[in-house]
Structure formats: structure tokens, C-alpha cells
Amino acid sequence: MPLPVHWVNQQPDSSLSTLDRGFAYGDGVFETLRCHRGRFHLLEQHLQRLQLGCERLEIPCPHESLRLHLHDASNYLRSQELADATLRLTVTRGSALENECGRGYAGAHGAPNVVLSLYSARLPWRAAPPPLHLICHRTPLATQPLLAGIKHCNRLEQVLAAKAVQRVGADEAIMLNQAGRPVSAVAANLFLVIGNNLYTPDLSECGVAGTVRGVILEHLADACMIHVEQRALELEELYQAQELILSNSLVGIQSVASVESQHFSTTRVADKLRSCFFDWVDAQAQ
């Protein structure tokens, strides 16, 4: 099996030191991309968010190294004739120096480490994935505006929520902020259809600003002639919505069938956005 494969600082099949600050403190950022027929979807959007994350954490963004890693990954996929894959691209602050000055949160360290991993994938292309059954996870996301929007390496809140989803046999979970308002799903952004409008939670205090979410806000809503708005949403609005939609970089756009006992039957807006999304992705490759 040609996948998974890993590179650390462009060295294939090498390992990351236990002194790495990403391992020790979650001190880094990462992106997960979909590859279909040799193309990394939303590559520029992912790289922009990764750069923003590096800037927020004051990590020098290794632009040249990232491009070289992506070139290696693309060549590997072509050589193995792999049509579908997922890619995880991680940048950490670097490895602590092996002496007293390398210890602690502010310890001395080397250059940023770049880790690239390719995994096999069987993801639907254009065909609508099955609607999801969700729970509402009541442990809130912490408020931290400095980290809001970026995809940093500390995902413990999502780990705990995913364990709760697994325990009850659901597909996903709605995650709330400290005020009890919906923010996102565990691994996806959230949209509500209310009347003729599309709403997505404001992410200025917590949550990850997904790449597909950004494409919906900046391109697809206008193309589909749908009014879209970012704002604080109440949990009651979620249960009263005509339609719930999730988005992430691997699946794209997916309908929600239910949240606990509340069912959502229509997929009209999700189907329209999904069609526009794949048309937009195809157009970017031309």
C-alpha cells in the first residue's frame, strides 16, 4: 500500500524529535487538504490560513519549505497514480535545544519543523454524501480571540467532543461557546438556513475559520443568489432552522438530518451550494 507516507523537513520516512514544541506544547499550526486527480483543493486558502496562524503564534512561516514539500507530495501522488488522498501539513515552532535554555514554554529552539503526511481517501466527488445525525456537545469551547480562526495544534476540545460523539453512535456534534451559542461542529463549520437567508456563527472569539466556509462567504453565496451573514446565533435558532449545513475541506458541503430529536428534512440550499462549490473548484483548476 503506497499510503500513508510522511516527510519531516523534506526527509521521507523520518521521525520528529520528542523535543519538538508541537509535540510538547501543541505549539504549531496545521492544515488538512483534499487531493483529487493530482490537485490539492483550496491550496492557496489553506496556505493563507497557515500563514495567519504562524503570524498569530509568532512562528516564522517557512514558505519555501512548504512549497518544496507540496512539490514532493504532488510528484509522489503522480508516480503512484493515486486519484484521491488527504494531506496534512504541519508547521511547529521547532525543536527545543538539548540544554537548560531549551526547557520551558519560552525555551530556546531551532528552526520551524515542517511535517507532511499523505493518507488514502475514499471521498465522494460531486455525489451528495449522506446527511448526518448530530448531538449537541455541552462542554463549551474556550474563548480566546488570539487563537480564534486559526488551526493550531491543540485540539483537545475537539478530541473530547469526538469521544462524546463516538459514545452515543452519532456522526458529529454541535459545539457551543461559553455563552451557550453554537459555533461549529467538531470537524466542520456550521450554516443555518432560516427563511431565505444563510447564517454562519461569528468566529471572532473561538472556532476555526474553515476554507470551504470562506469560499461560501466570498464566492458561492453570491453565485447561488443566497444572502449570507456572519453573526452570533442562538441555540434556539438552530433548532428552528429549516436546514442545517456543514462544510469542511475533505467532504465539502454536507446536509444535517437531525440534531438529537430535531429533524431537518430539506436539502435545497445544501444541494445548490454543493453544485456551485464543485463548479468553482473545477474552474480554479483551468
Q: Split the chain (286 residues) into runs of 10 and give each run's mean pLDDT.
A: 87 89 96 89 96 97 91 90 92 90 87 95 84 95 97 97 97 97 98 95 98 97 94 96 96 95 89 93 80
Which CATH number, 3.20.10.10, 3.30.1540.20, 3.40.50.300, 3.30.530.20, labels domain 132-284?
A: 3.20.10.10
C-alpha cell at 136: 449537541
Q: For residue 138, give every residue at least 6 positions away whose Cβ sits within 8 Å of its Cβ, in sequence order, or none.
A: 176
Q: Which CATH architecture has domain 5-120?
A: 2-Layer Sandwich (3.30)
Amino acid 286: pLDDT = 64
Amino acid 241: pLDDT = 96
Q: What is the DSSP string of 206-274?
A: SSB--HHHHHIIIIIHHHTT-EEEEE---HHHHHH-SEEEEEETTTEEEEEEEETTEE----HHHHHHH
Say if CB 135 and CB 244 are below 8 A apart. Answer: no
Amino acid 154: pLDDT = 96
Amino acid 52: pLDDT = 97
Cis omega (within 30 of 0) on the bond before 112? no
Amino acid 58: pLDDT = 97
Residue 81's region, left for phi above 0, alpha for psi from -120 to 50, else beta, is left
Describe the crossing of helices 43-57 and 63-80 by its angle, rounded to 10 degrees.
Answer: 150
Please choose, from the candidates 83, 61, 104, 63, the residue with its C-alpha nearest in 3D space to the C-alpha of residue 3.
83
Model pTM? Answer: 0.94
Each domain of the chain, given as residue ranges in start order, spans 5-120, 132-284
